[in-house]
Structure 1
Amino acid sequence: MRWMGLGLLGLAAAVQAAPDQRIALTIDDLPWQRLDERDDPELAQRHAQLLAALKTAQVPVVGFVNEIKLERDGQVQPARVQMLRDWRDAGFELGNHTRGHVDLHAIGLDAYEQDILRGEQTLRPLLAERGQTPRWFRHPYLRAGETPQQRAALAAFLDQHGYRIAPVTVDNSEWIWAFAYDHVRDTEADPVVREARLRQLRRGYVPYMLNKLDYYEDQSRQLLGRLPAQVWLMHANALNAASIDELIAATRRRGYTFITLEQALQDPAYAHADGYNGAGGISWIHRWAMAEGKPRSFYAGEPKVPRWVLELAGIADE
């Protein structure tokens, strides 16, 4: 064993030096990513597959809801509400992701706040059935405000309505992989070619996500001198239904423990100032780095989505 021969002092030092590898899993765009854009004949099967994988893995999850995806032609669909009820009854938390997955920077603060309230019309009574209330909010596109004043005004509004912001430290372009996966499922007629391409995407996806985790580990150490409790962003989609069990297992093999979002946010790193005033959506680690005036070179080296995946997704660039 690796600890043999260290002695008591050496063992204590080694334990103290071991990284604090903890991570919270969050899943956006419930009840299902792109449900308002495309029909998925395998939706019920994939939904059940994703929930089964998460329950088997015994990881805590917060899922973030876009209520527009509950509707078809303006009418709420009971089967889609049942998908949320399935998440709730599996023991997972549900949070607010705005009704329409809207962009704060495009529609302005007043309209954005109204969309947050419209995003709890089904969610709040659904949780009340179990004596719960929605308490987590996730910004669509991670666009959280272009000025300190806008961020502060939104934070005050959320606090007034009982919400806490769910930041993200391990950001990624998983959604591009998922779009590629859906595109192959939708368009490839040859079943042999179809399965080969889907297998290629599954095999590439997990290493890509772990490379992103490595990158933000390194960024954390450079910025904070240690690993904070991380928060990981993913989405409810067919790719994760097929792959999340292996991704969770691979993350655990790297020494990580999955914790609740509430436990993660107890880490003092989340009290760090946000220094980002741009229009995009980026990791909170990079927002903290901007507050400290880190040079452009600090952000170099982030893993990119391979060109072949972009082409399968029909996307020019991430």
Structure 2
Amino acid sequence: MTDTAATPATPATPAPVDYRATLNLPDTPFPMRGDLPKREPAWVKDWNSTDTADNAANSASDSAATLYRRLRAARKGAPLFVLHDGPPYANGKLHIGHALNKVLKDMIVKSKQLQGFDAQYIPGWDCHGLPIENAIEKLHGRKLSRADMQAKSRAYASEQVAQQREDFKRLGVLGDWERPYRTMDFANEAGQIRAFKRVVERGFVYRGLKPVYWCFDCGSSLAEFEIEYADKKSETLDVAFEADDSAALVAAFGLSALPEGKTGFAVIWTTTAWTIPANQALNAHPELSYALVETPKGCLVLAESLVEACLQRFG
């Protein structure tokens, strides 16, 4: 009988271990990539579309239940928080200033909603004024009649409102975008006239003098913030006003009388000499120290800190 060596048994290959099943990790529906340029428009569309599941039982008139309207319904009867938003001009595409303004305000409105308020936001647009008129003049020139200017401005503003509204929605701002207020809406214009009528009836309107800044190039008035001032060195004038009550003047400085033959004067400095004939009185600052200085011209009331500079300037 022939001996043969025993062949060792081949070890079994271990089954692969699925370590994924051994990890307790959260599951998330969020995709691996943000892909915001594609996803954000879909979110905005969803916010402004009908939620058929929630509105199946509603009437046809309530079918357009946007997210904003559902928020209003959820807070019906709660304390009101209404953001009074200074409207942007309807005169061009949005810039970073618009974005910063609207996004910050939207954060405030949404935070108030989360605090339990009925936080309403009614967007609006300023459809009047020089910016829109300037845009029309650039497009059509400056020879337009008043009626033509108004018609073209209204049409232009309507286009800009539609464009800006879509961009504001794209920023994620929630509001009653289908019912905004526009200063050019006839109801708003009529309301302004009615309000002005009440102001006139209560005596708050009067005729007076007021400077109106005017642009010769634009042919229109300017707001004060539109004015740019150039540096200019003006002629100056020092004027001595004789004291109306010499006794009161010397008493204020603890004296019994002015030097013999001397008259008391209060000295002012001005660059607008033409206003002097209308002067009625001079003001003394309660927190400044004044000096009464004897000079060959008389006794002058000067600010104590300016005595040396004034006397040198007077010669």
TM-score between the two structures when normalised by the length of structure 2: 0.23
Q: Which structure has the bigger radius of gyration?
A: 2
Structure (1 or 2) with the greater helix fraction? 1
